[in-house]
């Protein structure tokens, strides 16, 4: 397997760090709850989507969906809304109810769906990615996003 | 004369690397498109492209993949 070069790793890290600093105020603001009854805020979802995207060069993009639609995506929200909803609907129809996760591998790439804690996430990767790793990262992203604010603060303290 | 110890290690490592490369090559050649869906209850199933559910999954996945380009 081809090893990622140091330059690529540093570029990924640099891109992610800039994004992290842009959202620093949202992450440290004590008055702003991380999540409420309506679910996580869009800024946290954007941060989570960017963090997930930065995990690997093989991840092409992703979108995080809440009960009212797309919360965040690695591209235009409007562009992701319909295909993401369509993918979730197709997975649910195939499962005969709510699907917990799905993996569709095509010649052009691979699509993943994960549902967790009232949230859903769709992701697109290159071909031949390790499905278990991608699914585990998607679950970790949603789990972190769904975690209540007081739990995150207690862990950080 | 017995081979030097580092030669043995190098041979073994390159042997493993060859096997891994061959495995990945076979995987790329033989792997066909597929769709797997797991229900919340725990059961999972394959959905071949010929089936109605599989067709819907592949169409939705293709659209999603196009979005991520």
Does the ipTM surpass 0.85?
no
Tokens (6 digits) for B15: 């042997």
Is the Cβ pair A97, B34 closer than 8 Å? no
Contacts of B33 in chain A (CB under 8 A): 104-107
Flag the least confident range among A15-24, A106-115, B6-15: A15-24
Q: Rg of the Cα trace of chain A?
A: 16
Distances (CA, A) of A35 to A27, A28, A66, A73, A113: 12, 14, 12, 18, 22
Tokens (6 digits) for A57: 């060069």
Q: Which residue has the higher pLDDT, A13 or B50?
A: B50
Substitution target in A111, A125, A126 with the highest count of B β-carbons within 10 Å is A111
Q: What is the pLDDT of residue A38?
A: 47
Tell me the three state secondary structure of residue A62: strand
Q: Where are the domains of chain A?
A: 6-156
| Burial of B47 per CB tally in 10 Å (0-12, 13-18, 19+) | buried
Is the Cβ pair B67, A124 closer than 8 Å? yes
What are the start-end ranges of the H helices in A23-130?
24-28, 42-53, 77-95
Q: What is the pLDDT of residue A18?
A: 53
Contacts of A100 (CB under 8 A, 6+ apart): A114, A115, B38, B39, B40, B42
SS3 labels along A13-51: HHHHHHHHHHCHHHHHCCCCCCEECCEECHHHHHHHHHH
- Domain at A6-156, CATH from 3.30.450.20, 2.30.290.10, 3.30.450.30, 1.10.357.10: 3.30.450.30
List, for residues B19-47, the tens digit of each pLDDT value: 999 888 887 767 789 999 999 988 899 99
| pTM of this structure | 0.70
A42-53 and A6-22 helices, crossing angle to 10°: 170
């Amino acid at each position: 397997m081809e090893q990622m070069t140091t330059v690529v790793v540093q570029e990924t890290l640099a891109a992610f760090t800039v994004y992290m600093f842009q959202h620093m105020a949202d992450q440290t603001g004590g008055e702003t709850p991380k999540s409420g009854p309506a679910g996580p805020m869009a800024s946290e979802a954007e941060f989570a989507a960017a963090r997930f995207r930065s995990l690997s060069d093989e991840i092409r993009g992703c979108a995080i969906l809440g009960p009212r639609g797309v919360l965040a995506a690695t591209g235009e929200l409007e562009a992701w809304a319909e295909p993401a909803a369509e993918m979730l609907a197709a997975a649910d129809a195939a499962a005969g109810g709510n699907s917990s996760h799905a993996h569709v591998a095509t010649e052009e790439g691979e699509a993943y769906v994960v549902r967790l804690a009232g949230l859903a996430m769709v992701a697109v990767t290159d071909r031949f990615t390790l499905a278990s790793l991608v699914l585990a990262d998607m679950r970790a992203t949603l789990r972190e996003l769904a975690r209540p604010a007081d739990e995150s603060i207690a862990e950080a303290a | 004369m017995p081979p030097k110890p580092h030669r043995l290690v190098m041979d073994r490592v390159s042997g493993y690397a060859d096997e891994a490369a061959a495995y990945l090559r076979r995987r790329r050649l033989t792997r066909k498109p597929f769709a797997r869906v797991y229900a919340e209850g725990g059961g999972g199933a394959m959905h071949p492209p010929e089936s109605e559910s599989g067709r819907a999954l592949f169409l939705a996945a293709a659209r999603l993949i196009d979005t991520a380009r």
